[in-house]
Amino acid sequence: MRLGGVKTGKTVKEAAAIAPALNAAEEMFAEATSARSRNRRQRWAFILLTLMIAIGGAFAARMFVAERHLVFAAAQKGSSSDLVARNLQEIVSRSRGVRIVVRNFDTPTAAAQQFSQRRADIAIIRSDTKTPPRARAVAQLEHSILLIAVPKVGAPKSIGALKGRKLAIIGTDARDLALMRNVLSRFDIPETTPIEQRKPEEWATLFEPGGPGAVFFMARKSGLAADRFWIGKSQKLNFKLIDLDGAKGIADRLHGVENESIEAGEILPSPQVPEEETDSIAVDDLLIARLGLPDSVGRALVTAIFENKEQLGIPGRYGMNIQPPNTEKEASILAHPAAAAYFEDQTKTLVERYSDILFLVLWIGSLVGSGFLWLYSQVTRVTPIEAGQLSSTFECLATRAGEATDEAEVAAIEIEVNRLLTRTLAGLREGSVSYDGFEAFRMTFDLARSAIAERKRILSGDAA
């Protein structure tokens, strides 16, 4: 029989006395090596599973849990804001991730109130109205200019001269009437002054004898050149546009109002309307979105708007010159962060661009990783052998060394002791052997070495 690769001259009975202990040790080392390999595979499997679940869960949460259905509060069906909302709804439906639900209300003011009450995420408001909380401008949809027209015959010399005369306004928008009365109050024209509300197609007849002393019209820039009601069938220009006295001062005092100059012939080139440069005021229609939208949703919304501007507006009527919002800090409505980043070309790092996904990955990964760590440490992990388990083998080798009858047998036992020591130390470094019971291991190892040394001394004395 071979013992550690060294032949002995003992009988099978004598060699069998040590074989069970050595075989048991070999089996323990084989199991420890297998356990180490299995544990390593388990660790990598749990790490990969954690990453896969964390990344997949983050994208799933972003897609299905994160807010992506935006409510657009618009005025009544068929209005300009409703048509823009429907166009935007169709545009974003072709992209991934964002969906718009359009809800209609009786007036633009009612739609804005829904936004203020946090029942909508998108709306269109006018710059001269009260800004809803948490509203941020995404785009300037329309620019409206206040036109003041008077009959050519008997035209008043100034706005103040309109006191006591009949006045009219084109349109039924309550915001136009409120702005007009605010302007007239600065010329001491009483708020009780009657103001007739007329339709655009009546324009040419309003300046005939007996008509209003002045007609006010908040004209949208998208429709200035398209409107065909400026002159009657007679093709005679029976009105002229006049300046708003002190327009710049009025604009400075009113929220969301700016001074505007209309070039001669800007509305009609022939006959020329206005006849000369005219000074007035203007307001903007702004598309607003709620502050706090996820970055990805805000970016998708802004991109959809400005990459499809031509499809968003209504030709000859509304939104045909969509512009970026004012990104300055003194703007009447601050720009939405997504719009500011889009137009100022702010370069975002990968971490900034996908910060929401990274946060979800880390959060989900920590939860899943903790669960897998507990599972590995408490259930699936194959525990290494304890150093103390080898103490019985060294005891057996120490006993056998004390009974050895020749130096060859002692040498074979010493080889086994050293080999077990080497493998144990390697296992401790690799983790396949634990330090549990190491003190017992050390004591029995010393016992075996002492027995070998003592037996060597005795056998060498007998030989002498």
Closest CA relative to residue 293, chosen from 344, 358, 337? 337
pLDDT for residue 225: 66
The answer to whether the beta carbons of residues 239 and 149 sit under 8 Å apart is: yes
Least confident piece of the model among 109-123, 133-147, 242-256, 406-420: 406-420
Q: What is residue 116's predicted lDDT score, i.e. its pLDDT?
A: 92
On the question of pLDDT at 305 being above 60, the answer is yes
* Domain 66-346 of CATH type 3.30.70.790: no
SS3 call for 74: strand
Average pLDDT of the chain is 81
| Cα→Cα distances 408→8, 183, 225, 463, Å | 7, 120, 116, 13
Is a pLDDT exceeding 70 seen at residue 420?
A: yes
pLDDT at position 8, please? Answer: 42
How confident is the model at residue 4, as a pLDDT? 41
Q: 284, 127 in Cβ contact below 8 A?
A: yes
Beta strands at 122-126 and 195-198: parallel, antiparallel or unpaired = unpaired
- Residues 48-61: pLDDT tens digits? 888 888 777 766 66
> What is the percent of the chain with per-residue pLDDT over 70, rounded to a whole number?
81
CA 272/CA 269 separation, integer angstroms: 5
- Across residues 407-431, what is the average pLDDT? 82
What's the pLDDT at 218?
92
3-class secondary structure, 56: helix
Report pLDDT for 94.
Answer: 79
At 295, the pLDDT band (50, 70, 90 cuts) reads: confident
Max mean pLDDT among 8-17, 180-189, 349-358, 416-425 falls in 180-189
Q: According to the model, what pLDDT value does residue 181 have?
A: 92
Q: How high is the pLDDT of residue 136?
A: 93
pLDDT over threshold 90, residue 216: yes
pLDDT digits (tens, 9 = 90+) for 220-274: 988 876 676 777 665 678 888 999 999 999 999 999 999 999 999 888 887 888 8
Q: Identify which of 26-40, 303-317, 329-343 has the greatest average pLDDT.
A: 303-317
C-alpha to C-alpha distance for 184 and 147, rounded to whole angstroms: 14
Joined together, the tokens standing for residue 271 give: 């006959």
pTM, entire model? 0.63
Q: Is 422 a residue whose pLDDT tops 70?
A: yes
DSSP result, 187-236: TT--TTS-EEEE-GGGGGGGGSTTS-SEEEEEEEGGGTTT---SS-TT--
Residue 214: per-residue pLDDT? 93
Residue 43 has pLDDT above 70, yes or no: yes
Q: Quick one: pLDDT at residue 65?
A: 47
Task: Give 135's pLDDT tier (boundaries 50, 70, 90).
Answer: very high
How do the domains of the chain map onto residue ranges? 2-49+379-463, 66-346
> What pLDDT score does 2 carry?
38
